[in-house]
Every structure is written in structure tokens, then in C-alpha cells.
């Protein structure tokens, strides 16, 4: 994927150029207002770029969107309250009018995210972490090549978040999708990613493109190693320049 875009009279992004290889797990890290969510929305064709080009799986975002080349996970689960978990997971297939054994596929994905027994539960009956799992299953049901995640665990508590990180790596391993993951947590970015792209503010731009040299599979114990600290240290220094008194 290649980006080089800018958006709006307030330049949200300027001179951002980024290539992500298939199967890669890339995190976008930066303070609030650095345009990382904007970048994700450009890739997803939620927002149109003012100028510049984006290609998703070799196509323009609008075409990729209609081909269901990517799935999107929002910060809040965005589940429809009147549908149970299974019906929420089925929504993309209903909209795509894709009738190839939908219930079986939904069941398989609920199983993948560890919710096989909760297909009939309504969103208000599920915990925050469980709702976000349903959202991940929904994003995966169209079998997308790319998963775009906008701070998906940002609203979860620390303990749940750590658990969801491990779950996400397991799901990524099982599905082999490319993941573009937006976060403002350095440890989360290092723990999950192959690469961490640090973005700066006003206008949003790439400050550092760090390759994470930790072995896979990742283990939470790695967070206590010197190697891990070296990575988060590099990210912290790149982010430090972005700290402002008025921020």
C-alpha cells in the first residue's frame, strides 16, 4: 500500500508515504490529532484524500471497499443493539447479499474469537472485551485481505487489553491477514507489530518507521526484556519531540 496524501484545509496529513506488505502487522503510533485515524479512514475510503494516491490490495480504496478487501474495527464495537452477536457478525454478508452458508461461517468466526457459546447474546449482555471480539468477527466474515483497526482496545481496561492483544495475535496467526493497527500505546504497538510507524502532529507525518526485532510467537514475558525496553525507548524518543506544553 502506498499513501501520500493530504486532507482538508487544516492539513491533517502531509507527505505521508507508507508501504505495507501482505501479511504484515503494522502499527500507527502517535499522539491524539496526529492524523493516524484519518490515515486509516483514507485507506478505508471513509474519507476521500485531497490529493495523493492510496492503493489497497492493488486497487483504489473505493474499489477495494466494494470488493470487501478490508475489514474495519472501530474504537467502540459499534454493534447494532437489536441484533444478537451472531446477527451482528452476519451483517456484512447480508449487505453484500452473500448467501454462501452464512450461519456456518458466522459460527466458525465466533469460535475463532472464543464466543461460540454467545451467538444468541445481545450486545448489552456482553462485556466490553466480548463486544470487541464480536466486532472483530464481523470484520473478518467477508474474509478480507486487510484488517484495519482504529484503537480497538483503547476503551478496555488494562487487564482485558493485555488479554485481547494475545487473542488478536492468535487470530492474526489463524487468518494470515494484513493488519494496520492504530494505537497510542507504545508497549501495545511493540508487542503486536512487525513494524511501528510513529506519526507526528500538525500536519500529520511519519517520524519514525521502526522494525520490531522481537521473535514470534510473542509472549507477555517479553515485555520485561531489555530488547522490549530498547524498542519502546526508541518510540518514546521519537514521540518526545511531539510533546507540547499546550497538548
Partner 1 sequence: MTAVNAVGRAVAPPRRASPLRGLVPALGILALLAYWELHIRVFQVPHYLVPPPSVIAQTFVAEWPTLQRNVGATVIEAAGGFLIGNSIAILLAILFVHSKTMERTLFPIAVAVRTVPIIAIAPILVLLLGNGYAPKIVIAALICFFPTLVNMVRGLEAVEPSALELMRVLSATRRQTFFKLRLPSSLPFLFAALKISSASSVIGAIVAEWIGADVGLGYLIIVSTFEFRTGLLYATTVTASFLALALFLAIVVVERLIVRWQPDAPQR
Residues facing residue 208 across a β-bridge: 198
Interface region with partner 1, contact rule CB under 8 A, candidates 76-84, 160-168, 179-187, 192-200: 76-84
Burial class of residue 121 in the structure, from the number of CB atoms within 10 Å of its CB (0-12 exposed, 13-18 middle, 19+ buried): middle
Cβ proximity of 163 and 88 under 8 Å: no
Window 199-238: residues binding partner 1 (CB under 8 A): none
Cβ nearer to partner 1, comparing 44 with 110: 44
Residue from 2, 50, 55, 75 touching partner 1 (CB under 8 A): that is: 75
Q: Is 83 helix (H, G, I), strand (E, B) or coil?
A: coil
Residue from 4, 50, 55, 78 touching partner 1 (CB under 8 A): that is: 78
172 binds partner 1 (CB under 8 A): no
Window 29-48: residues binding partner 1 (CB under 8 A): 41, 44-46
Half-sphere exposure of 97 (CA within 13 A, CB side): 1
60 binds partner 1 (CB under 8 A): no
Shortest distance (Å) from residue 128 CB to partner 1: 9
124 binds partner 1 (CB under 8 A): yes
Interface region with partner 1, contact rule CB under 8 A, candidates 7-15, 17-25, 88-96, 199-207: 88-96
Cβ proximity of 85 and 93 under 8 Å: no
Q: Peptide bond preceding 217: is omega within 30 degrees of 0, i.e. cis?
A: yes
Residue from 50, 55, 59, 91 touching partner 1 (CB under 8 A): that is: 91
76 binds partner 1 (CB under 8 A): yes
Residue from 11, 68, 108, 184 touching partner 1 (CB under 8 A): that is: 68
Distances (CA, A) of 92 to 112, 146, 165, 180: 17, 15, 24, 20
Compute the distance between CA of residue 217 and CA of residue 208 in angstroms, rounded to an integer.
24
In 97-194, the DSSP E strands lie at: 146-150, 178-183
Interface positions with partner 1 (CB under 8 A): 41, 44-46, 65-66, 68, 70-72, 74-76, 78, 80-83, 91-92, 94-96, 122, 124
Amino acid at each position: 500500500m502506498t499513501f501520500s496524501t493530504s486532507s482538508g484545509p487544516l492539513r491533517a496529513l502531509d507527505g505521508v508515504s507508507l508501504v505495507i506488505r501482505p501479511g504484515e502487522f503494522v502499527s500507527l503510533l502517535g499522539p491524539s490529532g496526529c492524523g493516524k485515524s484519518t490515515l486509516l479512514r483514507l485507506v478505508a475510503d471513509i474519507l476521500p484524500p485531497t490529493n495523493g494516491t492510496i492503493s489497497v490490495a492493488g486497487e483504489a480504496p473505493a474499489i477495494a471497499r466494494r470488493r470487501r478487501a478490508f475489514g474495519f474495527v472501530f474504537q467502540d464495537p459499534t454493534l447494532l443493539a437489536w441484533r444478537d452477536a451472531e446477527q451482528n457478525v452476519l451483517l456484512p454478508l447480508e449487505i453484500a447479499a452473500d448467501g454462501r452458508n452464512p450461519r456456518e461461517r458466522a459460527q466458525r468466526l465466533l469460535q475463532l474469537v472464543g464466543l461460540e457459546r454467545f451467538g444468541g447474546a445481545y450486545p448489552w449482555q456482553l462485556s466490553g472485551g466480548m463486544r470487541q471480539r464480536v466486532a472483530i468477527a464481523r470484520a473478518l466474515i467477508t474474509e478480507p485481505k486487510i484488517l484495519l483497526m482504529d484503537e480497538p482496545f483503547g476503551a478496555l481496561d488494562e487487564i482485558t487489553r493485555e488479554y485481547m492483544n494475545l487473542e488478536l495475535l492468535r487470530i492474526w496467526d489463524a487468518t494470515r491477514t494484513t493488519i494496520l493497527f492504530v494505537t497510542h500505546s507504545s508497549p501495545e504497538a511493540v508487542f503486536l507489530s512487525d513494524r511501528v510507524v510513529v506519526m507526528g502532529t500538525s500536519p500529520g507525518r511519519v517520524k519514525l518507521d521502526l522494525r520490531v526485532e522481537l521473535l514470534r510467537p510473542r509472549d507477555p514475558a517479553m515485555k520485561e526484556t531489555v530488547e522490549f525496553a530498547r524498542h519502546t525507548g526508541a518510540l518514546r524518543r521519537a514521540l518526545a519531540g511531539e510533546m507540547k506544553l499546550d497538548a
